[in-house]
Amino acid sequence: MQKLIILFAAIVLVSGCVDGFSAASFAFSDEEKSCDELISDMHSDIIDAIENNEITTAKRVIDGDTLVLEDDTKIRLIGIDTKERSEESYKEASSSLAELTLGKKLYLTEDITDKDKYGRSLRYIFTEDTFVNAEQVRRGWAKSYRYEPDTYYSDLFDCLETEAKQNGISVWT
């Protein structure tokens, strides 16, 4: 039953990301792929990420790309960057992350690096129906940011950023 729920969540996640992507495309492995194709290619990866993860809850949000878990672990969302405290749209990005994570079961998965230079755990965050890192970019509050070597979903984030800019909703110009 749990695998069925996870599969449903992944389908909802992927179908939610597909809307509006048909016109966007980007470079991926020496060939041009649309966002639809990239998301389709990642379908099984996303299911695996949800099935093989840490499960936890958030206590509070620090900013649009950082939060604190119930056990006081600081989490930095991999592959995205949001405005800092002194910058315009900081509050909106933070509120968006709070809406996406607080009071929800969070599924955390790593890329290559466990922690950044500030000691924060680097993770991709999923809920039952949302890939949080990607949703922050899709909403226009975050930009894609490649933190080598942690770039597994960078092509997806790049595509979502392009789409947000094309739709005039990105705070990044």
Provide the residue ranges of all domains of the chain, joining segments of one domain with +.
2-166
* Domain 2-166, architecture per CATH: Beta Barrel (2.40)
Q: To the nearest whole percent, how much of the chain has pLDDT over 70?
A: 75
**From CA 172, how far away is CA 120, in angstroms rounded?**
24
C-alpha span between 173 and 52 (Å, rounded):
36
CB neighbours (10 Å) of residue 142? 31
pLDDT tens digits along 108-158: 999 999 999 999 999 999 888 888 999 999 999 999 999 899 999 999 999
* Whole-prediction pTM: 0.78
